[in-house]
Structure 1
Amino acid sequence: MHVIVVGAGIGGLSTALQCLRLGMRVTLLEHAPALREIGAGVQISSNGTVVLKQLGLLSDADAVGVRPVSFRVLAFDDDSIISDMPLGPAAAERYGETFYQFHRADLLGILADALPKGVLRLNARVADFDQDADGVRVTLADGEQISGDVLVGADGIHSVIRKKLVGDGGTVFSGKLVWRALIPADRIRNMAFKERFYGWAGADRMVWAYWVRPGMLFNFGGVVPATEVHRESWDASANLNDLRASMHGANERLMKLVDSIDEAFVTGLYDRDPLPRWSVGRATLLGDSAHAMLPYLAQGACQALEDGSMLAATLARHGKHNIPEALADYELRRRPRATKVQTTARSTHIFWTESDHIQAKARDGRMKGLAQLDPLAATIWRWLYSYDVVKASGEKHIASDKRGIRSVYDTDTSAQAKAWSMWHDLFTAEEEACGVRGLRRGYDRFFGQFQPKPSTKVSKVEIGTANALWIDPEETGRQRVVLHLHGGGFAFGSADCSTEYCERLAQAVDGRCFALNYRLAPEHPFPAALEDAVEAYRWLLTQGFEPTNVILSGESAGGGLAVAAAMRIRDVGLPRPGGILVLSPLADNSLTSPSIHEREGQDPIIDRDILTYMATGYFQSEAADHPLISPIYGDLHGLPPMLIQAGRTEVLVDDARRLADHARAADVDVTLRLYEERLHIFSLYPFLENAGHALAEFGAFAKRIAVSSDLAGSRRPPGLTEAALDS
């Protein structure tokens, strides 16, 4: 099999080595007269190191690279440590291999030196290509034609192969430029920089810095708004006064680092939108040609290394006579993961360069929360760093993924299969790439597709720092109220996207629903949402509603919040509400429930990664097991009757079980009902049969506690006035 690879960057070189290793003939075409990379660092995390090991290059990597001991995030203004994720041996043990930092030219040199003579052709600019059932033909700029069996476009973000194969489209500008510089060690000798990654996070800007040659050369990258720089080029030094001006407000050590730079280059940060396909016939793409990404995950080189390993393995497995099938297999195995990395890099760009000072403060708080919950950040980065492409390329089974293969269950009804498929598409790639704001738009868009009847009245009410919606079905009474707290991990969701579910809640109790728009994390961490929930309950009482006629309700994070609100209502001396309904509760924000681990990878949305992202943004500097953050650790004595509903095989089912056990131990009248569902918050899908059963059960629960309340009489303490309720 003759493989023609276009582009001799990290992806092209490693792909050539992989194909040669498996007995293929390779021609590697590079348009430049020499392999040369102008000063930039490159990081190789464990998922890339696996490939270097496969190629037998670890000893070469050790000779020229740096093994960082940690990933340290510091405050831009005062240099204080926000988080410090261990790398080195700790990361190698956790993720499988070590991390490296290189001068890009050194890594290219390692790969190029491993090539046999005659494989690499320099000054070979590709002008065109064509293919048929028998092979591919590449035409060079000088008219020479080269024939082969497979064509691999590894020619970067401005790929010639990509443009003809699948259409080029436009590059996407991030709005940011990056200053890049290499600083000799003697200029920073007294600044005590260790062999670690340093990242300074500011508002609308960030800086990264790390050694790329041990004790010799230090890499600097400073990301700033494009409006602050007036020149953009890799091969001309920019005005350092612009750089210093952009670093205004930086801490003393960072400014000293900037002052040590005598030459810097500045370039725009661009990527491309994810492609719907990489391969046509006998030609395919890899690396930046397939999935150009922003640098914030330091994964451009690693993803190219993964691509090359997988491509060579699939070509070898399918053989010379099944090349289109081999490329389809390669793409199916690689494109979902690469697209996830690509979109996550976009959202991480927003995370690191947040221009809003409130959001920037929230970002720092979330990282502090993560350091508490998981110092190694494995719950956030395990999916990225522990991936072993060598192992994955040999597996017959391809794991399901929202961007690739969808999980299908023979036992599902048609309605359950429909809901499960919809859940796969909760967020679009574009929404994921836009960080928390994009996720909020996506969550509201998705659940907003379920709308109440036109006859149901929806009206808005302002309550202190929050607001709420009254949802009043036409045919129901007005004495009973469900105070509903939406889900969304404390970070997204709204009353507006809950109106249809709230309509059914109101119908179930023959009353009204009061859906609260509580303040969202990470801008408003604990106890903001809890304060809003208690204030909403207090407001309902001042409007004349009997406390026994108010039922607290919530799904997912809103379920845990409803229980916490009941605890707080009790503790501040307000009358006890009539009952609590929780659906698929997130009741333990320290994420210790066994089902989270046991069902890892079975849900396309809810897993430890997203739960950690949401929980840490909520509790931030507070303890994750604070009883009002994780009510599973709280005192539940004296709470009203509680109905807990969940799917029997959903990820958070053990939060439901543990909450029920804890409530029962506190002598709470609690009912736990598990339905034959794997879908989280299944009752929000009105067409599911079990959603109907769950709402009917809630109606029966409401009637039962109403009878009990009537027999017991009102629980409002004698003499409790509206003035007291306002206190």
Structure 2
Amino acid sequence: MPSFTASLAGFVLRTTGYYRRMFTGGPQFQQNIIKVRAAPAPRPIAKGGVDVRQSEFQGRNVWHIAPKDKAPSAHILFWHGGGYVYSATDIHWKFLSHMASQHGWSITAPLYPLAPESSAEAITAWASAYYAAYQADINGAPFVMGGDSAGGGLTAALAQMARDGGQTLPAGLLLICPWLDLDPAHPDQLKTEPRDGILTISGIAEGGSLYAGDLPLTDPRCSPIFGNWDGLPPILAFAGGDDILVTDSRALKAKVPSVDLTELAGMMHDWPIFSFSESRKAQAAMAGFAARAVA
């Protein structure tokens, strides 16, 4: 059973619809995108023994978060979630700052282009170009690449593209409640949707269509579950039973049995990046995975 705090958070989110409004399709969807984009963008804060630095790549902001007074335990390239239409949130920055301060991660988090202004072909091309620049920036050191939700999908797509392009691969992949199939057609998603306090089927269907643009939904750059997973580095993945994207993680485990997947019943979408007791345990597991990968 989920902890009281996790259960309460799921209940409050379902009741208030705070996030579900942002991720519900229909006439208001693109208006909600515009409204959220108009607000000041959250940004990481340098406190608690963490250094924060900002750079740019091809006109986009890139944030670097690292421990202030110690050598990093691992280099992490992290792609944020947000349905490919929203930028990183305070929750993302708090999670990444915690991983830097408590587990010694040196994290780079690019703010990649978003739909509907951009789409999967251009977004993955930008991310692939940054992937190469990032490796040069860390002087070829081993690193782990990861992301949550849409960022998890982008992580998987980029790893497949890097392998196919003969580029150096990460030492490990971290997929947090990843969005691997843009088409929410699995029958179990209908059963899970009433319990999901963040996502809706209509929202991910419309957001996925905006992201895909002119590409078919089954193109691996859009839905990496349909890509080739052979020859990729070790994968640590997390999923929640009250998340409509849980079917994507289950499909991945069925396709790649070697994936180390933790699925917790009753847990909401993206639960590993929050501060529940279950989240902190997952974060410690991430830290261990990264340390072993880059050793």
Band of TM-score, shorter chain: 0.7 to 0.9
Structure 2 residue 214 is matched with structure 1 residue 625: no
Unaligned runs of 5+ in 1: 1-410, 708-727
- In 1, Cα distance between equivalents of 2:263 and 2:294: 23
Percent identical pairs in the alignment equals: 25
Aligned to 1:503: 97
Distance change >3 Å, CA 682–CA 697, structure 1 → 2: same
> For each residue in 1:642-664, what CA deviation from the matched residue of structure 2 results, as whole angstroms up to 9, or x when unmatched?
10111133221110111122233
Distance change >3 Å, CA 426–CA 444, structure 1 → 2: farther
Aligned to 1:534: 128
Structure 2 residue 163 is matched with structure 1 residue 570: yes
Aligned to 1:117: none
Task: Between the two structures, name the one with larger relative contact order (CA 8 Å, sep ≥ 6).
Answer: 2
Q: Offset of 1:442 from its aligned partner?
A: 7.3
Structure 2 residue 286 is matched with structure 1 residue 698: yes
Contact 1:569 1:575 in 2 (8 A): yes
Aligned to 1:419: 9
Paired letter, 1:419:
A
> For each residue in 1:252-292, what CA deviation from the matched residue of structure 2 results, as whole angstroms up to 9, or x when unmatched?
xxxxxxxxxxxxxxxxxxxxxxxxxxxxxxxxxxxxxxxxx
Contact 1:641 1:670 in 2 (8 A): yes
Structure 2 residue matching 1:460: 3-state secondary structure:
strand
Unaligned runs of 5+ in 2: none
Contact 1:426 1:443 in 2 (8 A): no
- In 1, Cα distance between equivalents of 2:185 and 2:217: 11
Paired letter, 2:148:
E
Contact 1:508 1:696 in 2 (8 A): no
Paired letter, 1:659:
L
Aligned to 2:189: 596
Distance change >3 Å, CA 586–CA 514, structure 1 → 2: same
Structure 1 residue matching 2:260: 3-state secondary structure:
strand
Structure 1 residue matching 2:130: 3-state secondary structure:
helix
Q: Offset of 1:605 from its aligned partner?
A: 3.1
Structure 1 residue matching 2:207: 3-state secondary structure:
helix
Structure 2 residue 48 is matched with structure 1 residue 436: no
Q: Offset of 1:428 from its aligned partner?
A: 9.6
Q: Offset of 1:495 from its aligned partner?
A: 6.9
Distance change >3 Å, CA 673–CA 659, structure 1 → 2: same
- In 1, Cα distance between equivalents of 2:290 and 2:201: 34
Aligned to 1:680: 269
- In 1, Cα distance between equivalents of 2:21 and 2:249: 31
Instruction: Name the TM-score, length of structure 2 as normaliser.
Output: 0.87
Paired letter, 2:288:
A
> For each residue in 1:630-684, what CA deviation from the matched residue of structure 2 results, as whole angstroms up to 9, or x when unmatched?
11100111111110111133221110111122233xxxx5211112443100122
Contact 2:196 2:242 in 1 (8 A): no
Paired letter, 2:54:
K
Distance change >3 Å, CA 440–CA 607, structure 1 → 2: same
2:248 to 637, 642, 655: 655
Q: Offset of 1:496 from its aligned partner?
A: 6.6
Paired letter, 1:663:
V
- In 2, Cα distance between equivalents of 1:615 and 1:473: 35
Contact 1:471 1:499 in 2 (8 A): no
Q: Offset of 1:562 from its aligned partner?
A: 0.3
Q: Offset of 1:699 from its aligned partner?
A: 1.4
Contact 2:50 2:100 in 1 (8 A): no
Structure 1 residue matching 2:120: 3-state secondary structure:
coil
Contact 1:683 1:690 in 2 (8 A): yes
Q: Offset of 1:704 from its aligned partner?
A: 2.4
1:494 to 66, 79, 88: 88
Distance change >3 Å, CA 615–CA 552, structure 1 → 2: same
Distance change >3 Å, CA 594–CA 429, structure 1 → 2: closer
> For each residue in 1:504-535, what CA deviation from the matched residue of structure 2 results, as whole angstroms up to 9, or x when unmatched?
33356533010110000010011232123222
- In 2, Cα distance between equivalents of 1:425 and 1:476: 41
Aligned to 1:587: 180
- In 1, Cα distance between equivalents of 2:78 and 2:22: 30
Matches within 5 A, 1:33-112: none
Paired letter, 2:34:
R
Aligned to 1:607: 200
Aligned to 1:233: none
Distance change >3 Å, CA 514–CA 495, structure 1 → 2: farther
Aligned to 2:67: 473
Q: Offset of 1:609 from its aligned partner?
A: 0.8
Q: Offset of 1:429 from its aligned partner?
A: 7.2
Q: Offset of 1:436 from its aligned partner?
A: 1.3
Q: Offset of 1:422 from its aligned partner?
A: 4.9
Q: Offset of 1:502 from its aligned partner?
A: 1.3
Structure 1 residue matching 2:214: 3-state secondary structure:
coil
Contact 1:461 1:468 in 2 (8 A): yes
Aligned length: 288
Contact 1:560 1:631 in 2 (8 A): yes
Structure 2 residue 113 is matched with structure 1 residue 519: yes
Paired letter, 1:689:
S
Q: Offset of 1:416 from its aligned partner?
A: 1.4
Matches within 5 A, 1:312-461: 413-423=3-13, 424-427=16-19, 434-440=31-37, 453-461=47-55
- In 1, Cα distance between equivalents of 2:20 and 2:230: 43
Contact 1:552 1:580 in 2 (8 A): yes
Distance change >3 Å, CA 604–CA 484, structure 1 → 2: same
Paired letter, 1:694:
A
